[in-house]
Every structure is written in structure tokens, then in C-alpha cells.
Amino acid sequence: MGPATAGPVDPTCLADELGAALVQLSMVLRRAILPPQISLTQASTLLILRDCGPQRVTRLAEAAQVTQPTMSALVIGMERLGWVRRDAQRSDRRAVAVCLTERGGNVLRELEEARTRALLADLETLPASDLSALLAALPALRAIIAHEQQNKAVAW
């Protein structure tokens, strides 16, 4: 697509280019911040627990888009690492919720700090006009995220 022009925006072309750029950025950041011993699904699960609070394994599996047996194995591994714990739910003592531990929260903070360092190093190479363009794009990107999250919530 190239630099922005004064002509009309082709939504399909924009969607293609934006999608490709976001996938590439995601892959580059993943390689830059995730140490080999932490999987993307583990990191995603920790984020879900931090942002949504304690969850049942089945709900975590849905949110992480993995099978329930895969999530069960993942939780067992993260329990062994001390990143999560299982607690009986107050409303139903038979139900168990997975909770983020302090150690798991520390892992997330380290990943977020690594992400910030990686992005900061990249941002420092850009001219002020590109930084301004990225800043101006943030509300639109957040609106896309909110729209996608709303659509996913309706589907569940």
C-alpha cells in the first residue's frame, strides 16, 4: 500500500496491509520478549487471569482457544512453576478456579517490561512524524480491539 495518500481509502487494501503489519509486528515482538521456556499460550493465560480474575479451566481453554485437556496440562505446568494456583469457588465448593499467583504476576510484569524495551528501541529509530502517526492511530486501533472483543463476547 505504501505511504498515505490524499485519495480515497480502499478498505480492503487497508485491511490487508494493516493485518499483515500487525501479524508481522506480533511475531517480531513475540520473538523479542518471550523466553524459550514460556509459550505464547502460557503468557496469554496469565494475561487472561490478570485481566479477568480467577477462571475455571474450561473458560480459560475457550479464551485461549485451546482444548480443555490442553489447558488442564498447561495449568498443571504453571502450577508447578508457581505461576497459578487452584482454589475452590465460594459459590460451588466442587468447582475449582485457576488464580494468578504473585510469581505469575511477576512473570507478566517482566514480559511487559521486555515488550516496552523492545518497542522503545524501535520507536527511537523513527522520525517524529512517524511517532505522531502512531500516536494518532492508537484510538482507531483500540476501537478495532473493542469491536472484536464485543463480537467475541456476543458469540460466547
CATH number, domain of 57, equals 1.10.10.10
Are the C-beta atoms of 71 and 61 separated by less than 8 Å? yes
Residues 6+ apart with CB under 8 A from 61: 67, 68, 70, 71
Q: At what angle do helices 57-64 and 40-52 cross, to 10 degrees?
A: 120
Cell numbers at 63, concatenated: 479464551
Q: Do 54 and 89 share a structural domain?
A: yes
pTM of the predicted model as reported, rounded to 2 decimal places? 0.77
- Whether the pLDDT of residue 73 is over 80: the answer is yes
Query: Is 7 within a domain?
Result: no
What is the residue range of 143's domain?
A: 127-156
Q: 22-62 pLDDT, tens per residue?
A: 999 999 998 889 888 899 999 999 999 999 999 999 999 99
| pLDDT interval class at 156 (50, 70, 90) | very low
Cell numbers at 52, concatenated: 479477568
Q: Report how many domains make up the chain.
A: 2
